[in-house]
Amino acid sequence: MFQGETAITIDDKGRMAVPTAYRDVIARECEGRLVFTYNPFEPGSLYLYPQPVWERVRDQVNALPKTKRTSRIFQLKLVGAATFVEPDSNGRISVPASHRAAIGIEKRAVLLGMGDKFELWSEQAHHAQIRQTISDDDLSDGLLDLQL
C-alpha cells in the first residue's frame, strides 16, 4: 500500500504534511485515522500505522505475556506510546512532542512507506541507516535468495 521515501518538514507547531499521493488512500482505508508509536527495533524512528493495521498489531502485542521482559518492552513502546492522529483540512498531522523529542526530530525528517505502515525517521538517523552496509554475516538464507 505504501512505498517510497519523502523528505518531510515539521512546522513550528509540530505538524507534518501527509504526502499528497497517500491522502486519498489514508482517507479511504482508515477514514483518516492514523496511529503514531515508537519503533521498538530502531531508536531513530516512529511507526505511523493506519488504524485498522494498528489494531491488529496492538492486539498481537497485548496478547504477549506481561511477565516477560521483552514482551513488556514491546507493550510499553508500541501500545503504551500509541497516539491517534487525524489529518487536518490541509493534510497535516501533529507529531506528538514527546515522540519528536525521543527520536530527535526537529525540523527535518524522512517518511518511508513500508507496505502496511510508514516509518518517520529523524533526518540524521535516516542518513546514518542508509550509510550502513550489510555484511555477509548479516545475510540469512532468505535474503540470499532475493533477486535484486
By 3-state DSSP, what share of the chain in percent is helix, strand and coil, each rounded to 5?
40, 30, 35
2-54+83-121 fold: Chemotaxis protein chec (3.40.1550)
Extents of the domains making up the chain: 2-54+83-121
Using the Cα atoms of residue 101, residue 1, residue 79 and residue 36 in order, give the sign of their dihedral. Answer: positive
pTM, to two decimals? 0.90
Beta strands in the chain (DSSP E): 2-9, 15-17, 34-38, 45-50, 83-85, 92-94, 108-115, 118-122
- Per residue of the chain (148 residues), give pLDDT as tens: 899 999 999 999 999 999 999 999 999 999 999 999 999 998 889 999 999 999 999 999 999 999 999 999 999 999 999 999 999 999 999 999 999 999 999 999 999 999 999 999 999 999 888 887 766 666 666 665 655 5
The pLDDT of residue 117 is 97
Closest to 8 measured CA to CA, from 88, 115, 129, 118: 118
Q: How many CB atoms lie within 10 A of CB 61?
A: 19
The pLDDT of residue 16 is 98
